[in-house]
Amino acid sequence: AQTVTQSQPEMSVQEAETVTLSCTYDTSESNYYLFWYKQPPSRQMILVIRQEAYKQQNATENRFSVNFQKAAKSFSLKISDSQLGDTAMYFCAFMRPGANSKLTFGKGITLSVRP
Amino acid sequence: DVKVTQSSRYLVKRTGEKVFLECVQDMDHENMFWYRQDPGLGLRLIYFSYDVKMKEKGDIPEGYSVSREKKERFSLILESASTNQTSMYLCASRRAVRSEAFFGQGTRLTVV
């Protein structure tokens, strides 16, 4: 079974600075997807970024980028130029490829951006 | 835009009641999921359905059942609600051949 570990329950960052959220996972699969989801106080879960394991290049979406280390089974999220709207819970998630696959989530991290 | 709609944002029920949580998606997705979210525990999968009338237990199915009679609707049923089922419930859907899942806005259920 796959497991996803987010060991930091909370983090805080000053507006405009950079913050990195950590995630590790365990799997015996060679191909899979990794995700970061954001859940703001409105509770609407939104996909931030996705990485496919067979792609060596790290995914980037505007101010959000990942550091994917396949051998180390590490998948961290870097948020550059932090904004107040980035305040949210962030969940790391794993999924095998395939038609009937399910997402396995970490416990999440609460990120607070200070003005 | 994909829309996943949960029937209630907040719900208060009494112990022993039968509770229905409804979820509807408008994008013809094959896969639908019910997760439970608790502080410090993240999201845990209760049940998922990969097609109409097809379902599979997740990690914490005890005390719950599901129904999927139509492709767009996936219902979570608490047969006899208990206080330890007080939680946030999230529904999600996904097209089988794509990776991204879309979530509803969540239902915060309180059982008193």
| Tens digits of residue pLDDT in B75-99 | 999 999 999 999 999 999 998 777 7
Q: What's the whole-number mean pLDDT along residues B45-74?
A: 95
Which residues in chain A are contacts of B48 at CB distance < 8 A? Answer: 102
| Tens digits of residue pLDDT in A59-114 | 999 999 999 999 999 999 999 999 999 999 999 999 988 878 889 999 999 999 99
Instruction: Give Cα A50 distance to the centre of its chain.
Output: 8
Closest Cβ–Cβ partner in A45, A99, A102 for B103 = A45
Distance CA A102, CA A80 (A): 30
Residues with Cβ within 8 Å of residue A40, at least 6 apart in sequence: A46, A85, A87, A88
Distance CA B33, CA B97 (A): 15
Q: Which long-range contacts (CB under 8 A, 24 or more apart) does B59-67 make?
A: B60/B36, B64/B34, B66/B34
Question: Which of A89, A94, A85 has the alpha carbon at shortest distance from A108?
Answer: A89
8 Å CB contact between A78 and A63? no
Which residue of A103, A104, A107 to mutate against B (max B Cβ within 10 Å)?
A103
pLDDT > 90 in chain A, percent: 83
Say if the Cβ atoms of A91 and B100 lie within 8 Å. no
